[in-house]
Amino acid sequence: MTTAASALKAPAAGSWSSRLMFVAAAAGSAVGLGNIWKFPYIVGENGGGAFVLVYLGCLALLGLPILIAEIMIGRRGGDRPSTAFLAAARAAGLSGRWRLVGALGATTSLLVLSFYAVITGWVLLYGFDYAALAIGQGSEVLDSEAHFSRLTGDARAQVFALLIVASAAFAFSARNAAGGVEAIMRWMGPAFAVLLFLLAAYTALAHPAPFDVVRYLLAPDFAALKPAAFGEAVGHAFFTLSIGLCGMVVYGAYLDSNASVPTLALAVATIDTIVSMLCAFIVFGVAFATGADPAQGPGLIFVILPRAFSAMPFGHVVGAAFFAAAFMAAFTSVIALAIIVSRAIEETFGATTRVASAITALATLSGGTVVIGSVSGAAPIRLFGAPLLDALDAITSSVLLPVSGILIAVFAARALAAEIRGLPFGRALLFCLRWVAPLALCGVAASRLL
């Protein structure tokens, strides 16, 4: 690294206490609503196995190389998104405009936060409902559709949940980043893993034909695949790995310079994929047991699962466990998103971590309240003809993320070429970043137009 670039490297706030802690933190960021809420419903909408196959291909050829690239950019340039890109660009003699990629990632993160925190709030409210039912309080969810409409129509309850989510995230993001994330991952990571395996085991034992679910997820039926599924698979591969938003730039900054980035990235992507597959197994296992249609869209876990929980043995406890696990996964991702936005505010306005985290929490609250207003009908805002929440999800996942992800790929292939070539499978990685990623973007654009 040149001296100019070293001078640019932002003072990283601490470092991971071990490489395992990096894997835990990065997995905490990666595993979230993307795995539990979104993956099952987009698999359901796109007909099962064939989509899973396309998605796994996107993960291997695009997701993993870009994940490696993001971590390396952060390790070289520090935890502030634009500064990190600027440092890596300067060191390679490239234009300083590449810093805009960092700004794009942070802006997209803020957009994601404003709806992600709202859905995390729904998960929390469902968790409260099932915890109450599990101890014999509250009233049974008889009509799960009506229950979900009641929740999404209740602006006050949603703002209350959002307030809890935003202030709890602030409590962790305002601390020295590595320290705050480690503090929560130390217990939430294992607790989440235990709950997930128990739920999967329960589904396998309680389901009349668990292999039907496995077949649905793994046997490809290409006739069910629409062209737009390709764009969806690329966007989701990025979203689920927290790449394209500079999430891994930030966490990579706290990594020591001798760590093998490909090995750690592979561990993170593997954990994320196992969690997604287990979640899909649980969600479809529970849904199929009640004869539900898998193509339910975004309401899948909020409408179909509760119907099944009411009918199954120990359903309330299973429901409480499911929503507790979903909340933990979502919350550690909210923290990751909040940290990206805070770092961007720090570098742009010279704010301290505490002030930047407070501004992020307020921005999440404001953005989230607007989303809640549109969901609950108080202020039915539409964007490009779709309800605000759906529009934000589509714009970030299907447009902004693929664009910023591919820009990161192209940037890394130029700025970090020598370093990447020296890695195990370095040439293949470089090929994916330089050629496959831009081609995929053309593919995504074409699939949108078809």
Q: Which residues bind ligand PHE (CB under 6 A)?
A: 29-30, 32-35, 239-240, 242, 245, 247, 333, 336-337
Least CB distance to ligand PHE at residue 337 (A): 5
Question: Please, what is the minimum distance in Å from the beta carbon of residue 333 to ligand PHE?
Answer: 4
Q: Find where tokens 């006050």 sit.
A: 156
Q: How far lies 70's CA from each of 127, 253, 365, 378, 407, in Å? A: 34, 10, 28, 40, 11
> By C-beta, is 37 or 288 nearer to ligand PHE?
37
CA distance 387 to 364: 19
Q: Which is nearer to ligand PHE, 25 or 141 (CB)?
A: 25
Classify 383 as helix, strand or coil: strand
Please report how close the Cβ of residue 239 comes to ligand PHE at its closest, in angstroms: 6
Rounded to whole angstroms, the Cα distance separating 318 from 380 reads 34
**Nearest approach, Cβ of 272 to ligand PHE (angstroms)?**
8
Measured at the CA of 106, the angle between CA 420 and CA 245, to 5 degrees, comes to 45
Which CB atom, from 81 or from 262, has the smaller least distance to ligand PHE? 81
Q: How far is the CB of 33 from ligand PHE (least distance, A)?
A: 4
Distance CA 198, CA 371 (A): 34
Q: What is the DSSP string of 228-297?
A: HHHHHHHHHHHHHTTTTTTHHHHHHTTS-TTS-HHHHHHHHHHHHHHHHHHHHHHHHHHHHHTT--S--G
Task: Tell me the C-alpha to C-alpha distance, in Å, between residue 121 and each of 42, 47, 116, 194.
Answer: 21, 29, 9, 22
Work out how close the CB of 417 gets to ligand PHE at its nearest, in angstroms, rounded to a whole number.
Answer: 26
Contact 259, 267 (CB under 8 A): no
Whose Cβ is closer to ligand PHE: residue 239's or residue 327's? 239
**Distance in Å, CB of 240 to ligand PHE, minimum:** 4
> Distance between CA 175 and CA 180 in Å, rounded?
5
**Hey, is 202 helix, strand or coil?**
helix
Task: Give which of 176, 341, 181 is closest to 246, Cα–Cα.
Answer: 341
**Which lies closer to ligand PHE via its Cβ, residue 292 or residue 326?**
326
Closest to ligand PHE by CB, 173 or 240: 240
Counting beta carbons within 10 angstroms of the beta carbon of residue 181, is it exposed (0 to 12), middle (13 to 18) or buried (19 or more)?
buried
- Report how far residue 152's alpha carbon sits from residue 375's, in angstroms, rounded to the nearest whole number: 6
Nearer to ligand PHE, 33 or 358 (CB): 33
Among 134, 66, 136, smallest CA distance to 101 is for 66
Nearest CB to ligand PHE, comparing residues 32 and 44: 32
How far apart are CB 332 and ligand PHE at their closest, in Å?
Answer: 8
Least gap, CB of 344 to ligand PHE (angstroms): 13
Q: Which residue in the shown chain puts its C-beta closest to ligand PHE?
A: 34
| Closer by beta carbon to ligand PHE, 63 or else 315 | 63
Report the alpha-carbon distance of residue 287 to residue 282 in Å, rounded: 8
